[in-house]
Structure 1
Amino acid sequence: MTSQQLIRFAPSPRRVLLVLPDRVGEVAMATPFIRGLFARFPEAQIHLLMNRPLLPLLEGSPWLNHAHFHAPRDKTPEAKSARQQLLSELKAQEFDLAVMLPDSLRSAWLCFRADAKHRLGFSRNGRGLLLTDRVAVPNKIRGGYEPMPLCDYYAVLAAALGMAHPGDELQLFLVDHADAAVVQRLAGEGVRPEQPLVVLCPGAGFGASRYWPPERFAEVADQLVRRFGAAIVIPPGPGEEALAELVRDAMHEQCFLLTEPCLSLGELKSLIADADLLLGNDTGPRQFGRAFDTPLVTVFGPTEQRWTDTSYVRESIVKVNVPCGPCHKNVCPLEEQVCMTQVTVDAVVAACEEQLRPQL
């Protein structure tokens, strides 16, 4: 099939498997599609297949009644046993339809081995023969792919299922226990309720090339404390603790570093939902801000902005256009990473002021 053709179901699917992306930000950007899929098949039993660490991301949603989790990819006997168990679980469900949001060969191979009757996904990465319903890649051009918003990319799969465009309004949910834990944590750290709450996320899972220099984040944070009396809260993800400490150590004003322990994904949702501003690089928590209508300031470097564009209006993007970008390299091969070093402190402070002032 092509992206203009519809799958014909007779009867309508009783059981549907939706394979979710592997990254935090991509799962958040998939939420319009998830919402639309449940509306498209209201009588079906819809199962989600995802990475277990991402479960708190969707906690509180009405979509988690049936969840399965990817097995480890290593070659240990335990991992092999877990993969076999997962396959048995999926086969037992006798899925009428499997929809793959990731473009990976792994997702297609798993749905093929699970004997899903219809297997829908984009025909790329050599997996076309494993799909029963192949959707043409909408943005393929000579030598690569034309950037397009991820929500629009998923909408092409939606069209093949007879769904309207799901839109790009991200939807995440809060849970009481995470909300309470964050309130208690902030009070224990000494954050005063009357202070403007600025959450600073200096990391990025993509790689070091996406980091704006920590000393510049520190300088911006100092100015926000002095001008607005802001409480600067830094909640690093796993493996980002050292980077967060660099920001703290470069600051002259007080900040609150949440590392002992780090917040869970559920707690991070609650923190960002309550924030007056989220400042950071192009990284997963940015999508939390969009879902909870939190004002955002995002520093862009080597990544293409168009992949993650939405119609969200309470975000200021700070970037410079350079001849070598966007390159999407994990590590910059140049002596100076100009796409990041040319982003000035003054430009980021001005963007933060633009987002903060209407709320104060």
Structure 2
Amino acid sequence: MHRIALFLPNWIGDVVMATPAIRAVRAAFPVAELVAVCKPYVADVLAGAPWFARTILADKRGPRSQRLFGVARQLRDAHVDATLLFPNSFRTALIAYLGGSKRIVGFARYARGRMLTDKLYAKTDERGRFVPSPALDDYNRLAAALGATPDHRMELFTTPADDASADAVWQQFGLARYARVVALNPGAAFGAAKHWGCDHFAELARALTSRFKCGVIVLCGPGEREMARKIAEESRSPHVFSLGDAALSLGLTKALVKRADLLVTTDSGPRHFAAAFNRPVVSLFGPTHIEWTETYFAKEICLQKKLACGPCQQRVCPLGHHRCMRELTPAEVFRAAEQLLTRVPLATREVPRAA
């Protein structure tokens, strides 16, 4: 095959979970040109990666070139031999079909089976209901159907600009003077149901700085600046710093996670950054099944309260009590963080430490 298009997942964390499959396709077809097709907001997840020769942006609300027929036209002009569909939507299969791909590999869902040349089927129980199973494994199944041999190792890269931005943050807050730096990620694009309270994060940050004499950096996205500032303020510690006033980017978040000694995070995209950079991570789960996003990462501790009402998979708690996250205490999270910080060696960073 001369040219292979890969439609990337629509969530940041899922793009990371697809990296073993992407890398395997690259290895299986070393002379083929790989084309990434993705939403604009996930494109930077794979910035710096050596796998793709070209990226086609796809957004039904974007300019004409990014809409259905515009993307299909670009694929047709590129003479794509095969297409691998990570998303399960009808729309992605239609774009690949209209794009003239000779071979289309995907899961037969949402009435799109007739457009696929290679149909895969999700795991279901005896009643036909979907069984929670790792998305990473499903992505690998797609790559295997194309002829690749994937593993479970997720992988990301940073660009020189990303690392320079992280250097600036490191210098701004004097983080080189700390033997350890812990990153906290309180955000969750999925919805409020995944949030762990600012007061909980603040208490955790205070305990970490007291026990380990470490620096703590609170990460955030553009819509989470106030949350990050609040956590730093409520920690009442001079060793806790917020990115709330920084020039934010996905690349900066990647670069900061890459050099942290530990990440404590909600079930969101940066959780997978940690595994991709081989950094220890404590992941806080509430309304979502851990099984959907299992990554087989040995340096991860997943915490979740087992309640009769969950996991509900809802963006907002339908019962209004949010117990699955509220009852996950800072003390429990601290114990998990302590376990990883005392078990895993310090990160090797590309920045100087204070003497």
Do the two structures share a fold, i.e. TM-score over 0.5?
Answer: yes
**1:7-61 Cα shifts (integer Å, max 9, x gaps):** xxxxxx2211111001110000000000111112222222111122322211221
Aligned to 1:150: 135
Shift in Å, 1:210: 0.4
- In structure 2, give the amino acid aligned to 1:42: P
**Is the aligned partner of 1:62 residue 2:62?**
no
Shift in Å, 1:193: 3.3
Aligned to 2:151: 167
- In structure 1, give the amino acid aligned to 2:28: R
**1:294-325 Cα shifts (integer Å, max 9, x gaps):** 11111111110011112211111122111111
Aligned runs of 1:59-208 on 2, under 5 Å?
59-71=47-59, 73-74=60-61, 79-80=63-64, 82-83=66-67, 84-139=69-124, 142=127, 144-164=129-149, 166-208=150-192
| Equivalent residues of 1:197, 1:230 under 8 A apart | yes
| Equivalent residues of 1:279, 1:297 under 8 A apart | yes
Identity of aligned residues (%): 35
Aligned to 2:251: 266
SS at match of 1:144: coil
Gaps of 5+ in 1: 1-12
Counterpart-to-counterpart distance in 2, 1:190 and 1:39: 41
- RMSD of aligned alpha carbons: 1.7
Tell me whether 36-45 or 84-93 shows the greater mean CA deviation: 84-93
TM-score by structure 1 length?
A: 0.90
Aligned to 1:234: 218
| Equivalent residues of 2:16, 2:156 under 8 A apart | yes
Compared CA separation, residues 141 and 203, structure 1 to 2 (3 A): farther
| Equivalent residues of 2:123, 2:133 under 8 A apart | no
Compared CA separation, residues 349 and 82, structure 1 to 2 (3 A): closer
- Give the number of aligned pairs: 343
SS at match of 2:222: coil
Shift in Å, 1:244: 1.9
| Equivalent residues of 1:138, 1:153 under 8 A apart | no
Aligned to 1:294: 279
**1:55-91 Cα shifts (integer Å, max 9, x gaps):** 22112211132211113x23xxx73454244332211
TM-score by structure 2 length?
A: 0.91
Shift in Å, 1:204: 0.8
Counterpart-to-counterpart distance in 2, 1:262 and 1:340: 30
SS at match of 2:63: helix
Shift in Å, 1:141: 5.5
Shift in Å, 1:115: 1.2
**1:222-256 Cα shifts (integer Å, max 9, x gaps):** 01111111211112012122322332232111321
| Equivalent residues of 2:266, 2:283 under 8 A apart | yes
SS at match of 1:349: helix
**Is the aligned partner of 1:326 residue 2:311?**
yes
Shift in Å, 1:346: 1.1
Counterpart-to-counterpart distance in 1, 2:294 and 2:172: 37
Which residue of the other structure, out of 16, 20, 45, is the alignment partner of 1:32?
A: 20
**1:203-228 Cα shifts (integer Å, max 9, x gaps):** 11111000111101110100111111
SS at match of 1:145: coil
Shift in Å, 1:162: 2.7
- In structure 2, give the amino acid aligned to 1:159: A
